[in-house]
Amino acid sequence: MKLFDGLYLYEIILMLLGALLFLVLLILLVYSVIKNRDLKLMLLSFLLPVLMIGFSSINKIQYDKLVVELQHKAQELEEKPGDQQLRAEVEQKIAAVTARPIEQSADALVTVARAQNALGNESQALTTVNKALQVAPQLPEAARLKTTIVDQQNLKRDATELEKKTEQLEQNPNDQNLKREVNDKISKVAARPTRNPEVLGKLARAQQVVGQEEEAINTAKQAAKIDPASATRIATKLKVDPKVLMGAKR
């Protein structure tokens, strides 16, 4: 992380003035030693620049720690998107990081964008990562994250389209053209890896409607493993016991 990332202008000025004052006092100290002058007052004078530098440094350390914590929490949330306590922690840390001046910190913006994406706020995440790319157009992490976000948005859109077609097929189970269309969309959605329980739930329902019972249960189990709270909701749509989704291994 860069030296001044996350610091307000007054904190940066305070740090720079403190460093300058420290350097001046150091020169005066050397001069005083050469001239055999009393050093007590000179040594006490060093307290001011130390406090000036220390104040900004402490804030910088706290900010860097907060960004690292957000990185770790976002990674955990990607693995456990249904953990409500973890979601609340990520939201709090996003608020704390974005309360600092991070507009020119591409790394911090990427971290915030990843956390927003983990929360399912793809639109916010895309806006944030675009800001990071404006600051550092060649930053590979930002480019990769943007690709991931766009892919997830497209996957959600495809899953929503699949859900609509599935509902139509439920109303018209003998429509073979519609059934082929649903199968095509199932293949399209299933081909892309995701840890989004909502997408997996829609996929499982579509698989069941076209007669892919085993695949539907396996997909629903995957969603329930990621987010146990989704088991009952998905089981209701599939008309199976929630215990079936929670009990068997993936």
Q: Which residue has the tokens 């009990």?
A: 247
Whether residue 125 lies inside any domain: the answer is yes
Same domain, 76 and 125: yes
Q: Are 109 and 220 found together in one domain?
A: no
Q: Are residues 181 and 116 in the same domain?
A: no
d(CA 222, CA 209): 18
Number of domains comprising the chain: 2
Cβ proximity of 105 and 135 under 8 Å: yes
Asked if the structure places residue 20 within a domain, the reply is yes
pLDDT for the residue 243: 83
Domain termination site, one of 111, 138, 165:
138
For residue 3, is it within any domain? no
- Provide DSSP, the chain: --TTTT--HHHHHHHHHHHHHHHHHHHHHHHHHHTT---HHHHHHTHHHHHHHHHHHHHHHHHHHHHHHHHHHHHHHHH-TT-HHHHHHHHHHHHHHHTS--TT-HHHHHHHHHHHHHTT-HHHHHHHHHHHHHH-TT-HHHHHHHHHHHHHHHHHHHHHHHHHHHHHHHH-TT-HHHHHHHHHHHHHHHTS----HHHHHHHHHHHHHTT-HHHHHHHHHHHHHH-TTHHHHHHHHHTS-HHHHHHS--
- Does residue 83 sit in the same domain as residue 168? no
Reference 17, options 44, 64, 54; nearest CA is 54
Residue 1 in any domain: the answer is no
Give the Cα separation of 143 and 145 in Å (integer): 5
CA distance 208 to 163: 12
87 shares its domain with 168? no
**Which positions ≥6 away from 214 have C-beta within 8 Å?**
none
Could you list the residue range(s) of the whole structural domain that residue 38 is in?
9-138
Q: Is residue 218 part of a domain?
A: yes
What is the mean pLDDT of each successive set of 10 residues along the chain, which is 250 residues long? 82 94 92 83 88 93 94 92 89 95 93 93 94 94 95 93 94 92 94 89 94 92 86 89 69
Residue 19 and residue 134 share a domain: yes
Whether residue 131 lies inside any domain: the answer is: yes
User: What is the pLDDT at residue 129?
Assistant: 96
Q: Tell me whether residue 144 is in a domain.
A: no
Question: Are 56 and 173 part of one and the same domain?
Answer: no
Do the domain assignments include residue 147?
Answer: no
194 lies in the same domain as 111:
no
119 and 58 co-located in one domain: yes
Residue 107 is predicted with a pLDDT of 93
Residues 169 and 205 occupy one common structural domain: yes
Q: At how many degrees (to 10) do helices 140-171 and 122-135 cross?
A: 160
Q: Are residues 22 and 46 in the same domain?
A: yes
Cα–Cα distance between 56 and 5 in angstroms, integer?
A: 11
> Based on the domain organization, do 63 and 88 belong to the same domain?
yes
Nearest-angstrom CA–CA distance, 125 and 106: 13
